[in-house]
Structures are given as structure tokens and as C-alpha cells.
A and B are shown apart, each in its own frame.
Chain A
Amino acid sequence: GDSVTQMEGPVTLSEEAFLTINCTYTATGYPSLFWYVQYPGEGLQLLLKATKADDKGSNKGFEATYRKETTSFHLEKGSVQVSDSAVYFCALSERAGGTSYGKLTFGQGTILTVHP
């Protein structure tokens, strides 16, 4: 079946440091890929997505590129802020560009803490 593997956390960085959170996946079809973020005390929010190979999703300074050859979708940000402290989830949906993004397969989540 489908699966998503994220780098284990927690990740602790100083403000303005470079962030990478690795994510790889296995899927039987051609999935859409997502990063969700969960701030303390809140629900998950969609951060960015990509629906086909070589697509780059970006939002709030975060980026991730859909790499089909390496089955990866690593999250990066050039300069993190304290306000980026949250839990980040990589996820995939098998129905690429398709009928529904509701059936998501999630990675285990990576806790990011950014210190001033």
C-alpha cells in the first residue's frame, strides 16, 4: 500500500537558519503530494501541494519539489522564523489531480522548534 516516510524529529533550529524536512513516499499510482502544518492548538492547514512530477509547491517561503525519480517531496525554507514552530506533515493522495483529496496518507509528522 501507499506510505509516506518523514525524517524523524524533533528539529530544533535558530532563527534564520535553513530548514529541510525530508519526505519520501511509495505509491502504486501517480499521487498528488502535500505538506500540511499544525500550529500549537490548531488544526492542520494545507501549506503547499504538487500534483505532477517536477511541480514545485510554494507558500510562505516554504518550497517542495515533486521528484518522481527519487519519490521525494522534501520541504525547504531558506530562513526560518520563530513563528514557523509547528508540526509538519507530508502526505499523499493517490487520486492525482483527480476526484478527491480526502483520502490522504500521512507521514508521522516532524516537530519543528525555532529559537530566537
Chain B
Amino acid sequence: GAVVSQHPSRVICKSGTSVKIECRSLDFQATTMFWYRQFPKQSLMLMATSNEGSKATYEQGVEKDKFLINHASLTLSTLTVTSAHPEDSSFYICSAHEREHSPLHFGNGTRLTVT
């Protein structure tokens, strides 16, 4: 079945550095991918919708200059956390679907720890 691969699964970085997280659809093309963030013991919150070939759509309260999203191909979206700070430590998870109305497929998530 359709699979979404997310890399890395865990990353530890120092405060002030940038971290890139990749989300790939392995056996289907996804014009749209979604990035979620989950704090401990809290819901997954949609951060942004990544659109292939165009600008991402960010949810209210999400800093677009801090969380850079690039969706350069039909199978790859990247989320870059720029100038990371400890409060950015969280679990980031991406999802994609082959077309509207089809089920979402989720990546395994990335645990980001900023020291």
C-alpha cells in the first residue's frame, strides 16, 4: 500500500541551528502534503499545508519564516526549522494522500530535541 517516509526519525540539535525534515511519498504522487506538530500529551496540530510547486499555506499562529516548507516535487516535501530554540522541541509528523477523498497516509514522525 501507499507509504509515506519521514526522515530523520530523531534529531538533536543545538539552539540557533537549523534542522531539515523530509517527507516522501514512496509509491504515489502527492500534490499536497500536511505537516503536523504534537506536544507531549497533546493533540496533533496542523501547522501547514504543503502544495507542490507553490507556496505553503500556514495555519494561524505558525511562523512561516521559522518553519520553512518546500514542496519541490510530487514526492517530496521538506520542513526546515530555522534558528531552532528549545521551545521548538516537539514531534513533527507529515501526511499525504494520493488525491482528495482518499485516505491520508502518515509518516512515522520526527522527534526534534533542541538543546
Contacts and interface: CB of A to CB of B under 8 A. Distances in A.
Interface residues of B, number: 24
B105 A100 contact: no
Given A4-B43, A43-B4, A43-B109, A102 B49 contact: yes
Contact of A100 (B4, B45, B100, B108): B100
Given A43-B93, A44-B95, A101-B103, A108 B43 contact: yes
Given A101-B97, A102-B49, A103-B46, A45 B106 contact: yes
Contacts of A28: none
B103 A43 contact: no
B92 to A, nearest CB: 12
A104 B46 contact: yes
Interface in B81-96: 93, 95
A102 B104 contact: yes
A66 to B, nearest CB: 17
A89 B100 CA distance: 21
Nearest to A6: B43
Interface in A52-111: 89, 99-109
B56 to A, nearest CB: 12
Contact of A102 (B4, B6, B97, B109): B97
Nearest to B104: A101
Contact of B106 (A43, A100, A103): A43
A89 B4 CA distance: 19
Interface string A5-35: 0000000000000000000000000000000
A26 B49 CA distance: 22
Interface of B: 4, 6, 32, 34, 36, 41-46, 49, 93, 95, 97, 100-101, 103-109
30 contacts: A4-B43, A36-B106, A43-B93, A44-B95, A44-B106, A45-B106, A89-B43, A89-B44, A100-B32, A100-B100, A100-B101, A101-B97, A101-B100, A101-B101, A101-B104, A102-B32, A102-B34, A102-B49, A102-B95, A102-B97, A103-B34, A103-B46, A103-B49, A104-B34, A105-B46, A106-B36, A106-B45, A107-B43, A108-B42, A109-B43
